[in-house]
Amino acid sequence: MDEFSRELLAVFAGHASQTFAWCVLPNHCHALVEAPDIKRLLRALGQLHGRTSHAWNGADNARGRKVFFRAVERALRSDRHYWATLNYVHHNPVRHGYVERWTDWPWSSARAYLQQTGVEEATRVWKYYPIRDYGEGWDEPGM
């Protein structure tokens, strides 16, 4: 996942004006980015998914297996939507049972966010913008 994370961040660096949060899990990823040309970013993500799935399927001798489903964009409607999304992205490894604490997942921007924001402010954001049922149906916990 180290290599995929590096490649994903390179795509964001080339096609997003800002990357606010990201998280890579074994079978999917989430990101909160600002992209001036979303179609261009989605095309680049599609190319990354294609290269990666081809390599992974070849290594596993599983040609034709579906590795990536899609990349989806959602316009943020408010500050609340932004902060809840940021919390959702960082909390995803906990949601899927990979770690107990969101800062323990190495393939995410969570540690950098916490270092930049500070524990007190990150705690305030977590409490004020809870995720509860946010993202329901995006990626089931059993994925």
Q: Residue 62 sits in a domain of what CATH number?
A: 3.30.70.1290
Q: Do 15 and 41 meet the contact criterion of CB atoms below 8 Å apart?
A: yes
Q: Is 53 within a domain?
A: yes
Q: Do 48 and 8 meet the contact criterion of CB atoms below 8 Å apart?
A: yes
Query: In total, how many domains does the chain have?
Result: 1
* pLDDT tens digits in sequence order for the chain, 143 residues long: 899 999 999 999 999 999 999 999 987 889 999 999 999 999 998 888 878 776 666 665 666 655 555 667 778 888 988 999 999 999 999 999 999 999 999 999 999 999 999 999 999 999 999 887 676 665 655 54
Q: Do 85 and 32 meet the contact criterion of CB atoms below 8 Å apart?
A: yes
What single letter denotes the amino acid at residue 137? G
Q: Do 17 and 25 meet the contact criterion of CB atoms below 8 Å apart?
A: no
What is the reported pLDDT for 47? 87
Q: Is 122 within a domain?
A: yes
CA distance 89 to 110: 9
Q: Is 107 within a domain?
A: yes
Residue 30 structural domain: 2-128
